[in-house]
Amino acid sequence: LMGYVGFANLPNQVHRKSVRKGFQFTVMVVGESGLGKSTLVNTLFDTPLYPPKEPLAPNAERPQTVAIESISADIEENGVRLRLTVVDTPGFGDFVNNDDSWKPIVENIESRFDSYLEQENRVNRLKIVDNRVHACLYFIQPTGHALKPLDIEFMRRLHTKVNLIPIIAKADTLTDDEVAEFKARILADIAYHNIHIFQAPTYENEDEETIAEAEEIASKIPFAVVGSDKVVWAPDGRQVRGRSYPWGVIEVDNEEHCDFVKLRQMLVRTYMEELREYTNDVLYENWRTEKLLSMGV
Ligand code: GDP
Ligand code: MG
C-alpha cells in the first residue's frame, strides 16, 4: 500500500496519451491555518514531501507554512512516470483583517497560466512545462455549522480559475451524523452562492463498474478527510496510518472511517485526466481569452 498511487491504472487510451505527452499534475491546498493542509499533503503522496531538515524533537510542532511552497516529486508506477507537484499555501484567518488573503493565491494561479501562455507563444512549443493548478483542495473547518463568509469569498475568487474540490478538514472531530449533516449544509451553501465546484462527469458508454465507481466518488463530495503521516497500532495489531485516541484509532485508509481513499482515487485515478482537460479547455481558455481581450489583441 505504501507508495501506491494508482495513476498507472488509468484507462488504457488515456494512459498511453499521457505517457506520450509526459505526465504533469499539480494540486493546490487552500484553507485556514491549522486545518491540516500540510499533513494531508504528506498523507496523500505518502512519501513525505517535506523531509524534516533536521530531526524533529518527539513533540515538535509541525512548522507553520509561511509562504506558498511548491514541492514536486517524480513518481513511477508500472513504468509510468508522473511529475506530481503540490502547492502548499500558508493558512489565513489569523489576522484581524483577512480581506485580501485570497490575493496571493489567485495571483499564484494566474502566474502559472501566464507562464503557460508564454510558452505557447514561443516558436518551439515542443517542450511545454505545464505548471498550471489542476485541482484545488479547499479545506473547510469542521464546525458542523455553515460555510464562513471568508470561505465563500475565497471560493468565489477561485472557482473560475481552478477545479475546486471542497474538503471537510479533521473529520475525526465530527460524528458520522454530524458529517452527513454538514456535507448537506455545505452543498446547499455552495449552490446558494453559485459557487462552481468540480463536477465529476458521468459516463454513458462505460461498464457498470466504472459508472458505479464514478457515482460513489461524486456522492462523497465534500470529502470528509483525516490526515496523518504517522503509523499507529490498531487494536487488532495491524499497523495503520492514522490517529490514535484513548478510545480507539482512526484509520486514514479505512473507507469506513473517512473519505481519504475516495479523495485520492478521484485525484490520481478516476478523474486526473478530466481535471487536466477541464483546466486546459475551460479554465485556462477563459482566462486566456479575457487576458487577450483586455490587452486589445
Ligand atoms: P495547516 O496549517 O493547514 O498546514 O495544518 P497542519 O498540517 O500544519 O496541521 C495542524 C495541526 O493539526 C497539527 O497538529 C496536525 O497534527 C493536526 N492535524 C492534521 N490533520 C489532522 C486531522 O485530520 N485530524 C486532527 N484531529 N488533527 C489533524
Ligand atoms: Mg501548512
pLDDT, mean over the chain: 85
Rounded Cα–Cα distance for residues 240 and 250 (Å)? 9
Probe residue for ligand 1, chosen from 35, 39, 140 as the CB with the greatest number of ligand atoms within 8 Å: 39
What was the pLDDT predicted at 117?
94
For residue 183, report the distance from its CA to the centre of ligand 1, in Å.
20
For residue 233, report the distance from its CA to the centre of ligand 1, in Å.
20
Collapsing DSSP states into helix, strand and coil, what is residue 218? Answer: helix
Dihedral sign computed on CA atoms, order 38, 39, 42, 43: negative
Probe residue for ligand 1, chosen from 44, 61, 62 as the CB with the greatest number of ligand atoms within 8 Å: 62
Parallel, antiparallel or unpaired: strands 223-224 and 164-168: parallel
Do 179 and 168 meet the contact criterion of CB atoms below 8 Å apart?
Answer: yes
Rounded Cα–Cα distance for residues 295 and 297 (Å)? 6
What was the pLDDT predicted at 14?
52
The answer, yes or no, to whether residue 64 has pLDDT greater than 50, is yes
What was the pLDDT predicted at 154?
95
Predicted confidence (pLDDT) per residue in 196-231, tens digit: 999 877 767 778 888 888 888 989 999 999 999 889
DSSP 123-189: S--TT-------EEEEEE---SS---HHHHHHHHHHTTTS-EEEEES-GGGS-HHHHHHHHHHHHHH
- Does this model's pTM top 0.95? My answer is no
Predicted confidence (pLDDT) per residue in 26-58, tens digit: 999 999 999 999 899 888 866 544 444 444 455
What size, in residues, is the chain?
A: 297
